[in-house]
Amino acid sequence: MTVLGLARVWALVCSAGWGWAAAQASEAVSLASPDRGKALLLQRQDSGCVLCHQVQGLPAGGALGPSLVGLAERSTKDQARERIADARRFNPQTIMPAYLSTEGLNKVANPYKGQTILTAQGLEDILSYLFLPNKATP
């Protein structure tokens, strides 16, 4: 990730009020990895992405959320980053989890209070996979 990219992530953290845990907010984001992103997308237990979304190049996913096939043709990486971080900013009634927010959550189990689902690194890894050119179609 470039210095500009890191600055953008930090600016989002500071300005959006996502309530990141302090350790995650100060976490250094290394170069994004499409391989780590693919692994996160496939983790049904941790991220759950393929439970609701079709993702290009991955085995069949769910149809509850919009397809992520061709996302790079209809969205920018920054727009996708904001939606994954906390889709409630765009649709307060969404059922999509707030992946980088701890604000306004209800009935969070004690071991998970104050923790986000993804780290900043995890989000960048997912974006690097979703915006990878020339992926094979499912």
- How far is the C-alpha of 7 from the C-alpha of 114, rounded, in Å? 24
Q: Flag whether 62 is in a domain.
A: yes
> How many domains in the chain?
1
Q: Flag whether 135 is in a domain.
A: no
Q: Flag whether 17 is in a domain.
A: yes
- How far is the C-alpha of 64 from the C-alpha of 13, rounded, in Å? 28
Q: Flag whether 138 is in a domain.
A: no
105 neighbors 24 (Cβ within 8 angstroms): no
Q: Flag whether 97 is in a domain.
A: yes
- How far is the C-alpha of 129 from the C-alpha of 119, rounded, in Å? 16
- How far is the C-alpha of 138 from the C-alpha of 136, rounded, in Å? 7
Q: Flag whether 136 is in a domain.
A: no
Q: At what angle do helices 77-85 and 120-130 cross, to 10 degrees?
A: 140
Specify the pTM.
Answer: 0.75
Q: Flag whether 55 is in a domain.
A: yes
Q: Which domain holds residue 64?
A: 3-130
Q: Give per-residue pLDDT as tens, 39-96.
A: 999 998 888 999 999 999 998 889 999 999 999 999 999 999 999 999 999 999 999 9
Helix/strand/coil for 131? coil
The CATH number for 26's domain is: 1.10.760.10
pLDDT at 50: 94
